[in-house]
Amino acid sequence: MRFPRAPFRSLEQYTSKPLRTATPRPQTASIAAAKSPAAARSFRLAAGAHLHGRPSSSSSSSANRRCYATVSAAELRFGQPVYETHPHILKPGELTPGISAQEYADRRAALADSMTEGSVAVLHAASLQYKSGAVFHPYRQESNFLYLTGWQEGDAIAVIEKTGPNLGDYAFQLFVKPKNPRDEQWSGYRNGIDAARDVFNADEAHSIDEADALLAKLLDSAKLVYADIQPSKNNAANWLWRFFSGREPRPARTPLYPVMNKLRVIKSPAEVANMRRAGQISGRAITEAMRRTWKQEKHLHAFLDYQFVINGCDGPAYIPVVAGGERANCIHYTVNNSTFDKEEFILVDAGGEYGTYITDISRTWPASGKFTDAQRDLYEAVLKVQRTSVALCRESARMSLEDIHNITTRGLVDQLRAIGFPVSSSNINQLFPHHVGHYIGLDVHDCPGHSRREILRRGHCVTIEPGIYVPNDDCWPAAFRGMGVRIEDSVCVDDDSPYVLTTEAVKEVDDIEALKYVP
């Protein structure tokens, strides 16, 4: 298996014109004095200073530094890893693991190219979520904000203004929390305003407290504002809500998420590489779990979380399903607090996250390590259909996820009939109540609202997860009652064959039975 593999189209597919490159200007030419944001950005991206994610590979001498970058990143403290402070996590030029500053700039250019003339896109960062009182959850950035900026702090607003007809004609502003030693003593370091310019390549950066004065003027002059807003406890989101709901006349506004979905749904080589890495680590962890004998669901849950992190993932991508026996028939069972019976199936739906990208895997195996005849029959019925459905994840098949779902449903009907189920197209949804798959990427259910009827193309990343969940009901064969089987892989669509991102998680019956752990 080749890894990392990089055959997929870049964001330049959205235009026939490549991104412009610019010759670095001398240090005396300040970004603030640049006549256009595009020219300022070109200088900054071309400058080779190692003050973090400069996309160009040109010389890193001080002569090429921006004039106000007077200290190196190693002398500063940031609210998130940068190469100079965390070289064990990031490579030179990366803003987040595996994703370069240039790729983030390309994404912003692609968004601006998709916008109408004279328009502005506004995004707000996610807020910190609290479990109770002052006890907070790990911070998770809003996905569209992260996709365009790489910024992983809350209380921030990003603005992308289309400034001309060419790709790269845009201005990028960030409104962020300024450095504050007292606050940082309690809550950790912040990136700050200077880093928003020097590291994250904003053309202009301001304190979030200046949004009322500066951003209102910009939005009032826009012909159209792309934004997704709703009432929220999030300070940045609330600012946008108040701006658009509490005054007249309001600027014309249109949702941003449909435009973002079109950009995000096709993955770049770097995104695929991150997802492949997450799939590789997660698949090996699940295979290792199959070797062992488990007595409690929570122990298996803890083992998977540990394996994901110790082998290189940032953590679990979501709360896993670890279900024994009939509990597997609850599709989103996540309490994981019961015990296993050796005669039951174990169903696990779990995956790790690497570099902000996720993987999604489901595997089912007998707790005893050996399939009974009934377990084997039901498992192989699902596996045969899953193999067929995965094979359709190629551009040459000219199929959508909806098409694959319909084929999967018919295949399950045929396979279940062959082992004695009185099932047809009219009642299969009692046994297979969910869709065969969804898009994956930054989110487990990536690009929410994006149509499953879109023909799959090279670079689409999806799950394929047929499942059969048999209730304890007299209408179903007695040997299978209470069984739940789901087999899921994360797959990237290629030209003529699927690229399975989770192949390390074994799924063939003989392979599973051969894994039985011997201490």
Quick: pLDDT tens for 90-123: 999 999 999 999 999 999 999 999 999 999 999 9
Instruction: Give every strand in the sheet of 352-354, ordered side by side.
Output: 315-316, 352-354, 357-358
Task: Report the predicted TM-score, pTM, of the whole model to 2 decimal places.
Answer: 0.86
Residue 293 has pLDDT above 90, yes or no: yes
pLDDT-derived band at 451, boundaries 50, 70, 90? very high
Say yes or no: 286 and 258 in one domain: no
Q: Find out whether 328 and 345 touch, Cβ atoms under 8 Å.
A: yes
Q: Find out whether 337 and 298 touch, Cβ atoms under 8 Å.
A: yes
Say yes or no: 282 and 249 in one domain: no
pLDDT confidence of residue 48: 35
Average pLDDT, the chain: 87
Mean pLDDT over 244-272 rounds to 89
Strands (E), 128-222: 130-132, 135-136, 157-162, 170-176, 204-207
In a domain, 5, yes or no: no
Say yes or no: 190 and 136 in one domain: yes
Q: In Å, what is the CA distance from 460 to each residue of 23, 148, 181, 503?
A: 35, 19, 44, 17
* CA gap 499, 458 in Å, rounded: 10
* CA gap 280, 494 in Å, rounded: 18
Residue count of the chain: 519
Q: Assign residue 420 a region (left: φ > 0; alpha: ψ between -120 and 50; beta: otherwise).
A: left
Q: How many domains does the chain have?
A: 2
Q: Find out whether 505 and 287 touch, Cβ atoms under 8 Å.
A: yes
Residue type at position 249:
P
pLDDT confidence of residue 84: 92
Q: Which of 225, 247, 264 is the endpoint of a domain?
A: 264
Q: Of 349 and 63, which is predicted with more confidence?
A: 349
Domain that holds residue 452: 269-513
pLDDT confidence of residue 213: 86
* CA gap 305, 315 in Å, rounded: 7
Say yes or no: 259 and 287 in one domain: no
Mean pLDDT over 180-201 rounds to 96
Q: Across-strand partners of 353? A: 315, 358
pLDDT-derived band at 433, boundaries 50, 70, 90? very high
pLDDT-derived band at 248, boundaries 50, 70, 90? low
Say yes or no: 317 and 344 in one domain: yes
Q: Find out whether 360 and 444 touch, Cβ atoms under 8 Å.
A: yes
Q: Would strands 467-469 and 135-136 be described as parallel, antiparallel, or unpaired? A: unpaired
pLDDT-derived band at 219, boundaries 50, 70, 90? confident
Q: Which of 264, 296, 312 is the endpoint of a domain?
A: 264
Mean pLDDT over 323-348 rounds to 98
The answer to which of 2-6, 29-33, 44-48, 477-481 has the lowest mean pLDDT is 29-33
Say yes or no: 162 and 21 in one domain: yes
In a domain, 498, yes or no: yes
The answer to which of 30-34, 406-410, 477-481 has the lowest mean pLDDT is 30-34
In a domain, 1, yes or no: no
In a domain, 6, yes or no: no
* CA gap 313, 277 in Å, rounded: 8
Q: Across-strand partners of 94? A: 100
